Amino acid sequence: MPRLGRIANFDDLDPLTAEPGVSVEIVEPGRPLPGDAGLVLIPGSKSTIADLETFRAEGWDIDLIAHRRRGGHVLGLCGGYQMLGRRVEDPQGLEGPPGGIDGLGLLDVTTVMAPEKRLSITEATDIGSGAPVTGYEIHLGATTGPDTDRPWLRVDGRPEGAQSADGTVRGTYLHGVFSSDAFRRAYLERLGTASTLTDYEAGVDATLDALAAHVERHLDVPALLALASGV
């Protein structure tokens, strides 16, 4: 995953990082995308056009084309999904100066930014595997185009996302999809990798419980709460 300057919701990677059989690399500026990656994930962004300009300035667009030629998979989440299209337009300057930019062209879609922000917790289904997916949406803009006729998720009966004709390039507005164990397992199987993490959310809860117990053991929590309340 390239480290974009305005990256958002980078915890999308946490479930993959927790998988024992998966190696996740965050590629810093100045370095190429690895040539042996099975999947290049383009994350969300607080400013899609500005981060797309950075993506090109780093030469990652060239690396991405080479990755595709080798048969590699690509997944764009939210802003990353918008970048994968043919064009991103921001006529009202909602994320920066008004204007537009050509996308990476790996999906036949176009995005137009609009003031209405979509915020929702979303229950979806992976169309290919039937696996349930829980995620959330937090984005500006609407994405349309021929590749949206090949959705790979379904939300309350409506199609979500887009994919290339061969299914190796996908985009979606849903964050947090890899937290869903059955979906993560099915997705990794498509990449030729087995999932051995059986309950990601339980691991998160256990970590938070351990952190809370550590805080209670070493800090005067009632005093901190009193200070916070002004008592």
Nearest to 172 by CA among 54, 85, 81, 110: 81
pTM: 0.88
pLDDT digits (tens, 9 = 90+) for 132-151: 999 999 888 999 999 999 99
- The percentage of residues in the chain with a pLDDT greater than 70, rounded to a whole number, is 98
Q: Tell me, what's the pLDDT at 231?
A: 59
Q: Name the percent of the chain lying above pLDDT 90.
A: 74
Q: Which DSSP letter does residue 107 get? A: S
Domain extent listing, the chain = 7-197, 199-231
Taking all residues of the chain, what is their mean pLDDT, rounded to a whole number?
92
Question: Residue 221: what pLDDT?
Answer: 78
- Helices 48-57 and 60-69: angle between axes, nearest 10 degrees: 80
Residue 156 pLDDT > 90, yes or no?
no
Any idea which residues carry the catalytic annotation? Answer: 78, 175
The average pLDDT across 209-222 equals 81
| Domain 7-197: CATH superfamily, name plus number | Class I glutamine amidotransferase (GATase) domain (3.40.50.880)
Asked whether the predicted pLDDT for residue 117 surpasses 90, the reply is: no
Residue 181 CB coordination number (10 Å): 18
